Amino acid sequence: MSVQTDTLPAGFEDLVPLLAHWARQTENLRSDIRWKASAEDFKALYEAVLPRLPDILGALEACPLEGMSAAEENLFNLAAAFAEAAPHHELYGGSADVPFSFAAHRFRPGHGDLPSNARILR
């Protein structure tokens, strides 16, 4: 599932460089990236996105789940990546693993290959 990497809604242009690495449509694709990320990768994402999170959430609040423009969908996918990656910076010391836990790749998400903006997840 490719992602159009060069567009974000107006006002979020500073986050465009993060799209190519992080923004993916599904949980499985994002997990593949997160499991390989370094502490530096998490830190860079975190420090770039956290200050913009109120604006990002404000913009996404105006977006229906389905029918987003490509730029809006990129913003959603980046926000989803941040939503899942933030604990690794805030809680896990930059580790790609959850410390002292089961191997994450052995968990199988039933929704893992669905676009995360699918209206129905069940």
Partner 1 sequence: MNDLAGAALRPGAEAFTHLGRSIEDIRSELGVGAVSIDTIRDPAVYELEREKVFRKTWLKVATEWEIPEKGDYKVKEMPVVDTSLLIVRGKDGKVRAFHNVCTHRGNKVVPTQDFETFGKARANVLSCRFHGWVFNTDGPLRAVPLEGGFGSLDKACLGLKEVACDIWEGFIFVNFADRPEQTLAEYLGDFGKLFGGFPYSEATTAFRYSTVLDCNWKVALYAFSEGYHVPTIHAGSLPGFTGIEHADFKLVGPHASSTIYGGGMEAAASTAQFASVLHADAEHGPRPELVPPGINPRGRSDFQFELPNIFPNFLIHLAAGCGYPGMAYFTHQFWPLDHGRTLWEGINYFRPARNAAERVAQIHVNALHRNAWLEDTGTMEDTFVGIRSGAIDAMHLMDQEFMIRHAASTLDRYLTKGEEQ
29, 68 Cβ separation under 8 angstroms: no
In contact, 19 and 8? CB cutoff 8 Å:
yes
List the one residue from 44, 65, 71, 96 that touches partner 1 (CB under 8 A). 65
User: Applying CB under 8 A, which of residues 2, 36, 40, 108 lies at the interface with partner 1?
Assistant: 108
User: Cβ of 82: how many Cβ atoms within 10 Å?
Assistant: 24
DSSP bridge partners of 115: 26
Q: How far is the CB of 112 from partner 1 (least distance, A)?
A: 9
Give min distance, CB of 44 to partner 1, in A: 15
As beta bridge partners, residue 26 has 115
Q: Taking a C-beta distance cutoff of 8 angstroms, is the pair 13, 59 a contact?
A: no
Residues in Cβ contact with 105 at an 8 Å cutoff, skipping those fewer than 6 apart: 31, 35
Q: Is 58 in the site for partner 1 (CB under 8 A)?
A: yes
The least distance separating partner 1 from the CB of residue 45, rounded to whole angstroms, comes to: 11
Contact code string over 7-36 relative to partner 1, x by CB under 8 A: --------------------x---------
Q: Kindly list the residues in this chain that would bind partner 1 in the complex (CB under 8 A).
A: 27, 46, 50, 53-54, 57-65, 68, 72, 76, 79-80, 82-84, 86-87, 90-92, 98-102, 104, 106-111, 116-117, 119-122
